Structure 1
Amino acid sequence: MRYTQTVGIGGRHEDRLWAEVTCPWWGPDNHRLNRAIEQFEHGDEVKVIHRSFPLSDGFPTGHTIDVREALRHKHGLTGEQLETMTHRIEAMAAAGQPTGA
């Protein structure tokens, strides 16, 4: 789940991108966004602010946890399952295939 908020500020363009902390599609989608901004003729006027939120209230507060740790916690995935999923998503991104929901 992602939410985008766009704000025009004195000729500059600011995007606030929100993603659920365990969203596996965020990495490839973020990479695509960065490439698009680089190719945009006014890319130097675009500022991207990343924000995240948990959909589950079972995450610890007050400190940072690794995304893989969060996925294990939220979905009960094993290390091998996480690696398989990560490699599949990375291959899709490298091939330029659409990702995400």
Structure 2
Amino acid sequence: MRVEIWSDIACPWCYVGKARFEKALAGFPHRDQVEVVHRSFELDPGRAKGDAAPVLEMLSKKYGLSTEQAQEAENNIAANAGAEGLGYRTEGRDHGNTFDMHRLLHLAKEHGRQDELIGLLYRANFADERSVFDGDAYLVELAVEAGLDADAVRAVLADPGAYADDVRADEREAAELGANGVPFFVLDRAFGVSGAQPAEVFTQALGQAWDAKPRLAAVGGDGEVCGPDGCEVPATGDPA
């Protein structure tokens, strides 16, 4: 069975949703027969490369929030991340263009290192002190840590056309499937799961998709997602 996950490195719910899905997959009896493929979806495709801005500033502009409200939103998402055992830095993070990261993820897919790279990119963006938008050198470091060849990574970054068509193809397919926010999970082209659902919903979806007919059906209602207009903010209180 194949599970395709449309996501963006800039999406906090993709970070949380990946952890919840992996928790469900770890307990799935057929987990050794499940192939996971990460697909590209840019939340801010119009932002120029190198045009990074503080996350709190971005949240304030997108949602019309005060700095205090934006900080509370970050704190609430951090609580959800912490409940999954994930680090989440609520201050000092940047937001920027992720197109090069998606191109590198397609390179990583060819070498069987996609999951390793996306995990490191998430960690760098949401938990580490250094900004993931801190230039190509940092992306090379992360890609090498994921097991890729440094020269191959530099060659991709130096060629804006490398894997660009693959990224655009993923994004077109997301639109064709009706995905207007991420994370979006498609299980064996039989079931679609939208948002950072609880692990129990992914467990249900995996079980149903294993024997499903070839049709796409919604499972679990709507979970929190990030879209071009911003990311949903969880209600104040205990993490979901």
* TM-score range normalised by the length of the shorter chain: 0.5 to 0.7
Deviations 1:20-53 (A, max 9, x none): 4532201111101001010001111111111222
Instruction: Report matched runs for 1:19-34 at 5 Å.
Output: 19-34=7-22
- Indicate how the Cα distance of structure 1 residues 30 and 17 shifts in structure 2: closer, same or farther if over 3 A, else same: same
Structure 2 unaligned regions, length at least 5: 61-67, 85-196, 199-222, 226-240
Deviations 1:31-85 (A, max 9, x none): 0100101000111111111122224332346x9x9xxx4774xx7248x987754
How far apart in 1 are the matches of 2:69 and 2:10? 14
User: Going by fraction, where is helix more abundant, 1 or 2?
Assistant: 2
1:50 aligned partner, one-letter code = H
Give the secondary-structure state (helix, strand or coil) at the position aligned to 2:16: helix
- Indicate how the Cα distance of structure 1 residues 54 and 71 shifts in structure 2: closer, same or farther if over 3 A, else same: farther
Structure 1 unaligned regions, length at least 5: 1-12
User: TM-score, normalised on structure 2?
Assistant: 0.27
Give the secondary-structure state (helix, strand or coil) at the position aligned to 2:45: coil
Of the three residues 55, 71, 76, the one matched with 2:58 is: 76
Of the three residues 58, 83, 92, the one matched with 2:80 is: 92
Aligned to 1:38: 26
Larger Rg: 2
Query: Percent of pairs identical after alignment?
Result: 34
Aligned to 1:6: none
2:11 aligned partner, one-letter code = C
User: Going by fraction, where is strand more abundant, 1 or 2?
Assistant: 1
Structure 1 residue runs of 4+, over 3 Å off? 69-72, 80-87
User: TM-score, normalised on structure 1?
Assistant: 0.54
User: How many matched pairs?
Assistant: 81
- Indicate how the Cα distance of structure 1 residues 47 and 55 shifts in structure 2: closer, same or farther if over 3 A, else same: same
- Indicate how the Cα distance of structure 1 residues 45 and 52 shifts in structure 2: closer, same or farther if over 3 A, else same: same
2:47 aligned partner, one-letter code = F
